[in-house]
Amino acid sequence: SDQPPKGEDSSRDGEGTSSSAGPSGVQPGNAPEGQLQGGVPDNVQISKQIIEELKVKVFGFDTFWVTSVENYQTDGVVFRGNMRGKDTQVAYEKMRDRMRDQLGESYQLFLLEDREGRP
């Protein structure tokens, strides 16, 4: 079973939690300038259509309620919001599976903790 990757939320307001989606294979510092691992150009942006699909079809009232979206263009998208349900692992797995069903293996999902250490 996949464990949700953990990171630190860089939010200034400390409200809720964050989920992030970005092109698969992004490993900063491990690829030559201008390319991501696997030879994919680093100027790949997540379209508004994909962002909307993520909001509507991947996140939801039962897993993660999106309150705001921050588009960092080629670096990914941060969805701020609130985790739903008591089991973060179950919610993460639902979102991960929905994202794979909707978008294939093109994107990765990360959960970031807020300042109180909640995912």
Number of domains in the chain: 1
Quick: pLDDT tens for 32-45: 444 344 444 455 67
> Using only C-alpha atoms, what is the Rg of the chain?
14
Residue 2 lies in a domain: no
Neighbours of 1 (CB within 10 A): 4
Of the candidates 29, 28, 49, 25, the one whose C-alpha atom is nearest the C-alpha of residue 103 is: 49
Distance from C-alpha of 19 to C-alpha of 59, rounded to nearest angstrom: 9
Residue 90 lies in a domain: yes
Which two tokens mark 53?
């699909």
Quick: pLDDT tens for 90-99: 999 999 999 9
Residue 85 lies in a domain: yes
Residue 38 lies in a domain: yes
The pTM of the whole model exceeds 0.95:
no
Quick: pLDDT tens for 78-116: 999 999 888 999 999 999 999 999 889 888 899 888 888
Residue 9 lies in a domain: no
